[in-house]
Amino acid sequence: MQDPMFFNKIAGATLAALLLFFGLPHLATALTGGGHHAGKHEEGAHPFPQYPIAFATEGGAGGGEAAPVDFATLLANADPKAGERRAALCKSCHTLEKGGANGTGPNLWGTVGAPVAGHAGFNYTPALKAAGGEWTFERLSAFLENSQSYIPGTAMVQRFPKAEQRAELLAYLNTLSDNPLPLPTPAPANAAPAEETPAAPEGAAATPASDAPAETPAESPSGD
């Protein structure tokens, strides 16, 4: 014979399960410092204990952005050996040794201080040919940071977004020369850092490096 309390037991078990399902998260949140003691529930609040983790940031305890560093100062303190390791990326398109052959991009010996698009025997893009001027540290830095923005139409695509990376690479490239250029003078410690990216020359994005059109060798100043 069927238990007369059978359906009551089912209803009770169902109610208990619902209470546990909906009630436990709120109870856990209240016990771990959330819930109503916080005055409101944060969206997505986790029902289990959570522990704060401190992350170090460049801005320091204040949380603000770190002040930009003068590029000449970075260059003066850059390690050419570190730059040599970074230049490994350049070797897929460029040769670095004196007298080296052109590849997808031009040979990079003597690039720092040389005329833009001036390496003999390399077929540069019209964009670089129109840039004019010389590969100064500032122009090379701007080119390496974002070549497509600095000289639209160049075939160079490798980027070095961090100023420290570019300083190391340029410190190394400057050694690939019979007459390395003197490094720029760092700004005084209390002076505002100078604008790192020079204005692009008229008629073309500004500058440095070497690159070549897709159908011809690419020309990147730093070999990336």
Question: Residues 81-114: pLDDT tens digits?
Answer: 999 999 999 999 999 999 999 999 999 999 999 9
pLDDT at 43: 38
Please compute the mean of the pLDDT values over residues 149-178 and round it to a whole number. Answer: 95
For 27-31, 103-107, 182-186, which range has the lowest pLDDT when averaged over its residues? 27-31
Distance separating alpha carbons of residues 123 and 104, to the nearest angstrom: 10
The per-residue pLDDT for range 119-154, each reduced to its tens digit, is 999 999 999 999 999 999 999 999 999 999 999 999
The rounded mean pLDDT for the chain is: 75
DSSP summary character for residue 186: P
Please compute the mean of the pLDDT values over residues 194-213 and round it to a whole number. Answer: 48
Domains, the chain, in order of start with CATH, read 1-53 (no CATH), 69-224 (1.10.760.10)
63-91 core/surface letters (b: 16 or more CB in 10 A; e: else): eeeeeebbbbbbbeebebebbbebbebbe
Angle at alpha carbon of residue 120, lines to 115 and 122, rounded to 5°: 100
